[in-house]
Every structure is written in C-alpha cells, then in structure tokens.
Structure 1
Amino acid sequence: MSLERFLPVLLLLGSNVFMTFAWYGHLKYKSAPLFTVILVSWGIAFFEYCLMVPANRLGSAFYSAPQLKGMQEVITLLVFAAFSVGYLGQPLKWNHWAGFALIAVAAWLIFME
C-alpha cells in the first residue's frame, strides 16, 4: 500500500483515538459535572475533526465514500476495543467480539467490487 493510500488510514486511526476519548473518556470521571464533561468532550472532538476531515478529503482520491465509512467503522471498533479494556478496564465478552466481527464483515463487503 502506497503512503498516499495509507495516510488516510493513519489519519482515521488518530481521529478515532480522539473521538473515543471525547465520547467515552469521561466515564472514568462520573462525578464531574455534565456541562464540564460536554465542554471538554467538544474540545477533544475538535482535534478529531482536524484529522477526520483531511482523512476523508485525501482518502476520497483512492476510496469511495462508502469505503471510507466502512474503514472508519472497523478502525473505530478496534480503537474502542483497546480503549474499553485498557482505559476503562471493561473487558469485551464473546458477544461483543461476535457483533464487531459482523460489522467487520459488512465493511469487507463494501470493498468488494
């Protein structure tokens, strides 16, 4: 895979790390006021957008919009799985993995020509 085709994947990976923290990172701080959590999450999401928009813009030269979305969903699941176990301490069960696998199969189908 050339760097030009791989760069959108790296940007999607980075953006998903930020977005996962924006959406779920506050779960470790349940005593924090909701309004504060929302503001902090918006701040984190800004950096997600700074990576996601270029990922889609650059990626559109090589991938269709549905392919970019399918790729993003698989990356999101991989990042979330690591985050759930490593940061939140919430291991995934067999049914979570099975559901994630079905989503991965769906993404694979999107790439079929």
Structure 2
Amino acid sequence: MQAYLLPIGLLTLSNIFMTTAWYWHLKYKATPLMLVIAVSWGLALFEYCLAVPANRLGSDVYSAAQLKTIQEVITLTVFVGFSAVYLGQAPTWNTGIGFALIAAGAWFVFRG
C-alpha cells in the first residue's frame, strides 16, 4: 500500500510548494519582480526535490499517464484551496464544472 500512497503524498507536498512559488506574490505586487523570481525559484527547488522522487517511486506502480493524471488532480485541488484561503478567491460554479470535467478525464485514464 505504501508504494501507492507515498508518490501521492510526495506529489501533494510538491504541488503545495509549486503553487506557492507561482502565486504567493500576487498579494505583494509592489515587491520587485527579480526578488519574486528569486524567491519563487527557491520554492521550486523544494518542489523538484519532492516531485522527482515521487515520479521515480510512482513509476513502479503507476504508468506515466497515471502519474501525470494524479499530479494534475492534486494540482487543481491544491490550487482551489490556495486560491480560496490565501488569495481570498473562492471557486465558482464554473470552476467546479470545469474541474468535474477534468475528473471525468482522469477516470478514463485509470479505467484500464
């Protein structure tokens, strides 16, 4: 069971770092762009340190398409939470419908 769950946990943590790297600065528009880029690259380093092992370990039990699908579903989930909590932008019905359609696509990837 750990072989299936560890990659998902690592991908979740990596997506938290990457979402933060991409969007944290939207609340700090006065911060110089070069500083934002440097901080974001620092955060992205941690993301890579988690994502690469997640994919390496995950490839033992998931196909590449399944790993990418897991990563995308996690990315959307993390983004919705980050957007709502940190940026104060709650998801809309259209967001929910769009994500549901993506989830339907994920179902087909795992269907076998």
Q: TM-score, normalised by structure 1?
A: 0.97
**Matching of residue 75 in structure 1 with residue 35 in structure 2:** no
Which residue does the alignment assign to 2:60?
A: 61
Q: TM-score, normalised by structure 2?
A: 0.98
Tell me, in whole angstroms, the C-alpha distance in 1 between the residues paired with 2:103 and 2:46.
Answer: 26
What is the Cα-based RMSD across aligned positions, in Å? Answer: 0.6
Tell me, in whole angstroms, the C-alpha distance in 2 between the residues paired with 1:10 and 1:33.
Answer: 33
Percent identical residues? 62
Instruction: Flag structure 1 segments of 5+ consecutive residues without an equivalent.
Output: none
How much has 1:93 moved relative to structure 2?
Answer: 0.7
Instruction: Flag structure 2 segments of 5+ consecutive residues without an equivalent.
Output: none
Tell me, in whole angstroms, the C-alpha distance in 2 between the residues paired with 1:5 and 1:93.
Answer: 32
How many pairs are equivalent?
112
**Letter of the structure 2 residue corresponding to residue 31 of structure 1:** A
How much has 1:104 moved relative to structure 2?
Answer: 1.2
4+ runs deviating over 4 angstroms: none
